[in-house]
Structure 1
C-alpha cells in the first residue's frame, strides 16, 4: 500500500533475494533504475568502473559494487562471467543449498558406520602404511572460489589394488558469519560427511585420518575429486547459515602433502592452546559429543575444559561453538547438577547423560579415573591408555605406533578392547593432549603413573611433557618413562623402571 515504503524494504531484504547486474556503460537511465532498486533493498553489481557504495544500511550488505569485467581473473570470458555472477550472489547474501550430493555411489545416512574390509578395499589413505590429514581454514571472500575442486597429484588409479597412498584434504571456506573459532567444528564434520558415501569408510581426524574406498565404489567411478564434491555440497547444506563459499584441494603430490601437513599441524597446535587456563571447576556445564555414534552407538564423549574429546579434535570451546552453530547437533550442554565425587569426577548431570546417550549400557562415568567407570570410546582416539598391573602404572600407545607393547598387544589389537562403546576398567581411549591435563587420571595418581609411552609421542610433545613433569615435581620423569626402543615386554619394563627408579614403584597400589 502507499506509505509502506519501510515495510516493503524490510520484506524485500528478508525475503526477496534479488540483485541488479548492471552490464555495460551506465547512463543516466541505468543510474536511476539502479537507485530505485537500492531503495527496494536490492544491491547493484556493475561490470564497469563506477563509484562504489560499500557501507551497509538500506541493503543487507554492500549497496553498489564495481567489478570491472576485464579485471576479473579467468581463462576466458565465460569463467569471468561466472565469477561476476558469484560476486553478485555473495553481495546479496543468497544462500546456496545443494539438494543432491553429486557422486556415482549411493549417498545417505544409511551408509554411516559402513566398514570396508581389507579384502574388499581398492585403496586406503592413512592407517599403517600412509599418512592422511584433513584441514579446514577460513579465508577472505575474494580468495575462495565456490565449488572449485582441485586434485593436486596422482589419482589412486596409479596405486595397486589394496595399496595405500598419502592424502591431504584442504577445505577453504569463506562466509560473512564464519569465525576462526568455528574451524575445528566444521573440520570434524568431514568424518560425518564422507561416511555417507556407500563404499567409503572414514575413521579418525586431523593428521590421523584413515579412509578406505571399496572396489565396488571405485568400479562405479568414485575418485578423489568426489571427496571435494561431497564436502562442497554438505557444507552448503548443513552450514549455509555461516558458510557462503567452499573450495577443496585434494592433495596427493608428495612435496605439497608434506608442506600442508606441517601447516595443518601448526594450526592444530594453536587450537589446542586456546583453552589456556580454563578449569573444570570454573564452569557449570560440560558438553556431550555423539558425532561417532554411527560406529559406536553406545558411546558418548563428555568434554570438559580439562578433558578434550578422545579424537583430539574437539575441546570444550569447540563444543560450545558447535552448540551455537547447531543447537540440535551432536554437542549438547550438560548441566553438572550435584557433585557426587569431586576427586573421581562424578556429577549427577554427567551420569544422567551417560545413561541416556549409551542406551542404558553405561550407568556412571568417572571423568578423572581409568580404574573406576572410565569414559567409553568409539574408534577415533589418538592414544590408548592401559593398566600394566606389574608396574603399578599405565602405558600410553599412540595410533601412529605399530610396535608391540608391554601389554602383549599392538595398537590395532588394543583398539578392539578400548573402542566400540565398551566400558573397561584399566583401558581408555584418549586425545593426546589430555595426557598434559592436570586432570589426567588424577584420581589414580596422575601423570606419574605413566611408565611406558610410544616414542613418537615423547618426541612430538617433548616440550609439553617436560612442562607436565616439572608441574608434577619430577623434572626428569620423561627420561624415566620407557618406550618401544628400550622394551616391549613386562620383564624389560620392570627392569627399566627399577634401574631408573620410576616414581610409580613407590606410589600406593593403583588397585
Structure 2
C-alpha cells in the first residue's frame, strides 16, 4: 500500500470532526457540496490523476467553509453507466476511512470536514484524492482506471451542480414506471450501518434508498458485480399486506440485519412498523394528531412546520435506525412519484394536509388536482389553529373525519362519567388504532399487597381536551 500522511482504516468510519477540532468545512448546510461518478472510456482517463480547481488546502483559512465538488471518472472493461450510482455511494465509505476526514450525505448535499490534525500533515488535497482512488480500485476491482477533480471555486461548483442535478434527474426517472408489484426481488443496503448499526435499508421500485444514491436498478447492478458487497438481493416473499408494503422476505431480513431488534418492517406505513431511518434522508413525514393528517417537510426548508418543529428536530427524532410511529423518512421528491403506493398508504394524498411551498412546487405534478389546493403550505398555516382553519375553509377530506372522532369522544365521555371518577378524552389516533395488551393474560395480584400493572408509553403524544371529576355511583 502506498504511503499517505494520514492513517487509512475502516475503524475511522463513523468518526465525527467537531467544530472546535475542525480545520476546514467543505460543502454542508452553509455552502454547496457535490459528489458525482461518471463512467468513461479508459483512453479518456489519466489513472490516479488529481486535479484541483480553486483554492487548495494550503490556501484555505482555518475555520472557514468552502464550496466543494468531487467528480470521479472511472473506466474498465466491466464499467458501465448503470454502475455510476453504485460506485458513487461508496464515496461515503472510503472518504470516512481516512483519519480526520468526515463525510456526510450524498449527491448534491455533501458535507465534509477535515480535522486540524490531518490538515497539519499535508498542504494539498492530492494525497486525499489518491487515497480514495486507491481504496476504490482495491475494493472494486472492476475499476481499472480512475481520476478525480476537486472543485473549490464557487462559480465552478455551481456549474458542476447544475449539470449533476440533470444527471440525477435522469437516473431517478428510470424507476417512475416500475413499482413494487412488478418485481419479485428487492435489494438491501448496509452502507449506513457504521453510523446506524441496526438500520435496515430496503430498496424497492417504489422506495429508493434513504441516502438517495441507490435505486432498484442500481441495487441490481451492484449485487451482480459485487455479490459480497453491501448491496444484496432480498427475495420479496409472500405479500402480507399490499396496502402498507409488508412482505415476508423483508421481515426476515429485517430481523437479521437489526440483530433481532425489529422483526417487521412495512415499507409504506407511518403507524405500524415503519421503515427505519439512518440520517441521510431529505424529507420527513410526520403525523399531526390534532387534525388527523400527515405533513411532509424537506431538508432545505428552514422554517417550522405547524407542529412547531423544524426539519432538523424531526430528523433527530426519526433518524438513528429507529422505528418511530407517526414519522417516516424518504430520500426526497422521487418517492412521491410512486403513484400506485402513494394513493393508498395511510390514506394517501387525502391524508396529506401540509407541505412547504418549495416542496409542493417540486412535486406538483404528482399531486391529484382535486386535492392540490386543499394542502396548506407555510403561506397558509404556521400553527395548528391556522391549519385547522385552512382545512375547514378548503373542505379538506380529513375534516369529515373530525365529526366522527368528536362523536366517539362524546360517547366515551358519557360512559366514563357513569363508570369512573376521572375520565379523560381519548387521543386522536391513526386509523390503524392502538392495541393494548389483553387483560386476560395479566396475572392477578394478591389482595392487600402492592403491585398492579405498569404501562409505559414510548414516543407517544397524549392530548387531553378536558378532565371530568364526578361522584362515583354505587
- When normalised by structure 1's length, the TM-score is 0.75
Q: Whole-Å Cα distance in 2 between the matches of residues 215 and 500 of structure 1?
A: 55
CA contact (8 A) 1:104 1:222 kept: no
Aligned to 1:456: 358
**TM-aligned CA distance change 1:125 to 1:447, over 3 Å:** farther
Q: Structure 2 CA distance, aligned partners of 1:295 and 1:328?
A: 20
Which of residues 304, 310, 313 in structure 1 aligns to 2:210? 310
Note the C-alpha offset of 1:483: 2.9
Query: Which residue number in structure 2 is paired with residue 468 of structure 1?
Result: 366
Matching residue of 1:257: 157
SS at 1:182's partner residue? Answer: helix
- C-alpha distance in 2 between matches for 1:295 and 1:215: 23
Aligned mate of 1:115, from 12, 16, 27: 16
Q: Distance in 2 between matches of 1:374 and 1:341?
A: 13
Gaps of at least 5 residues in structure 2 are: 403-428, 432-474
Which residue matches 2:292? 392
Distance 1:218 1:440, change over 3 A: farther
Superposed, which structure 2 residues align to 1:359-438 within 5 Å? 359-432=259-332, 433-438=334-339
Contact 1:199–1:217 (8 Å) recurs in 2: yes
Once the two structures are TM-superposed, the CA of residue 450 in structure 1 deviates from its matched residue by 2.4
Distance apart, 1:466 and its partner CA: 3.1
Q: Which moved more, 1:355-364 or 1:339-348?
A: 339-348
User: Which residue, out of 351, 355, 376, partners 2:251?
Assistant: 351
Cα distance change on mapping 1:222 and 1:286 into 2, 3 Å: farther
| Distance (whole Å) between structure 1 residues aligned to residue 125 and residue 375 of structure 2 | 42
Once the two structures are superposed, what CA deviation does each residue of 1:339-361 show, in whole Å capped at 9, x if it has no partner?
A: 22222222221111001001111
Counterpart CA distance in 2 for 1:498 and 1:157 is 59
The one of 158, 181, 184 aligned to 2:82:
181
What is the DSSP-based 3-state SS (H/G/I as helix, E as strand, rest coil) of the residue aligned with 1:288?
strand
CA RMSD in angstroms, aligned pairs only: 2.0
SS at match of 2:191: coil
Q: Does 1:203 align with 2:104?
A: yes
C-alpha change, 1:361 and 1:281, in structure 2 (3 Å) is same
Change (3 A) 1:503 1:131: farther
Distance 2:357 2:62 in 1: 32
Task: Look up the SS of the partner of 2:194 in the other structure.
Answer: coil
**Which secondary structure state, in structure 1, belongs to the residue aligned with residue 14 of structure 2?**
coil
Q: CA deviation at 1:210?
A: 1.4
Instruction: Give SS of 2:51's match.
Output: strand
Aligned-partner SS, 2:36: strand
Q: Once the two structures are superposed, what CA deviation does each residue of 1:177-236 show, in whole Å capped at 9, x if it has no partner? A: 211111111111111111111112111110111112222222232743344223321221
1:152 aligns with 2:53: yes
Alignment CA distance shift 1:215-1:476 (3 Å) = farther
TM-score (norm 2): 0.80
Match of 2:392 in 1: 498
Alignment partner of 1:274 is 2:168: no
Which residue of 57, 65, 68 corresponds with 1:167? 68
CA-CA distance at 1:418 after TM superposition: 0.9
Shift of 1:398: 1.4
- CA-to-aligned-CA distance 1:43-62 (integer Å, 9 cap, x gap): xxxxxxxxxxxxxxxxxxxx
Do the aligned partners of residues 450 and 436 (structure 1) sit closer, same or farther apart at CA in structure 2, a change above 3 Å counting?
Answer: farther
- Where structure 1 has 5 or more consecutive residues not aligned to the other structure, the ranges are 1-98
CA offset at residue 441 of structure 1?
8.0
Tell whether the 8 Å contact from 2:37 to 2:71 is kept in structure 1 after alignment: yes
The equivalent of 1:480 in structure 2 is 374
Secondary structure (helix, strand or coil) at the match of 1:458 reads helix
Measure how far apart 1:501 and its partner are.
Answer: 3.2
String of CA shifts for 1:292-335, please: whole Å, max 9, x gaps. Answer: 00000000111111111111211111101010111011111111
Render the CA deviation track for 1:31-78: whole Å, top value 9, x for unaligned. Answer: xxxxxxxxxxxxxxxxxxxxxxxxxxxxxxxxxxxxxxxxxxxxxxxx
Q: Does 1:124 align with 2:25?
A: yes
Q: Say whether the 8 Å CA contact 1:144–1:173 is kept in structure 2.
A: yes
The Cα shift of 1:290 comes to: 0.8
How many residue pairs end up in the alignment?
403
The DSSP-based 3-state class of the residue aligned with 2:367 is helix
After superposition, the Cα gap between the structure-2 partners of 1:140 and 1:305, relative to the gap in structure 1 and judged at 3 Å, is same
Correspondence for 2:414 = none
In the alignment, what sits opposite 1:141?
Answer: 42
How far the C-alpha of 1:154 sits from its partner, in A, is 1.2
Deviations, residues 414-455 of structure 1 (Å, cap 9, x unaligned): 221111111111112211111221224833012332222233
**SS at structure 1 position matched to 2:146:** strand
Give yes or no for contact 1:453–1:481 (8 Å, CA) kept in 2.
Answer: yes
- Alignment deviations for residues 251-272 of structure 1 (CA, whole Å, 9 cap, x no partner): 1112211111011000000000
Alpha carbons of structure 1 residues 136 and 267: separation in structure 2 relative to 1, 3 Å: same
